[in-house]
Amino acid sequence: MLGMAACDTSNVRYSVEIISILQSRCFECHGGTATNGGGLQLEQYAVLKLTAQNGLLVDAITRQVNQMPKGRMALTAGQIAQIRTWVRNGAPNN
């Protein structure tokens, strides 16, 4: 089935799957010199890990009100599953 590989959660890595999701869906507002993300710069691994560990990352992408990415289509079920798996595994810098 086309698209199933994108939802593979058996070996989720920060350096491959997570950074890809963040680059395509989050860094526009939460990266580099972007000013639309309330000062939350997810390009910095330490900030991302803290955001993941305190539950804010998964909450932001799954909540019904003010869901991230703001004003854009929600992440796919596969992207959310990959982020949840990565967080559940301790948000490693792998």
Distances (CA, A) of 54 to 33, 62, 93: 24, 15, 16
- Joined together, the tokens standing for residue 30 give 């939460």
Does residue 29 form part of some domain? yes
pLDDT at residue 4 is higher than 60: no
The whole domain housing 28 covers 10-88
Does residue 54 form part of some domain? yes
pLDDT at residue 2 is higher than 50: no
Query: For the segment 12-55, what is each residue's pLDDT rounded down to a tens digit?
Result: 999 999 999 999 999 988 887 767 777 788 998 999 999 999 99
Does residue 21 form part of some domain? yes
Task: Using CA atoms of 43, 48, 51, 55 in order, give the dihedral in degrees to the nearest 10.
Answer: 120
Identity of the residue numbered 57: L
pLDDT at residue 71 is higher than 90: no
Position 90 scores a pLDDT of 97
CA dist., res. 7 & res. 16, Å (int): 13
Does residue 93 form part of some domain? no
Predicted TM-score (pTM) of the model is 0.87
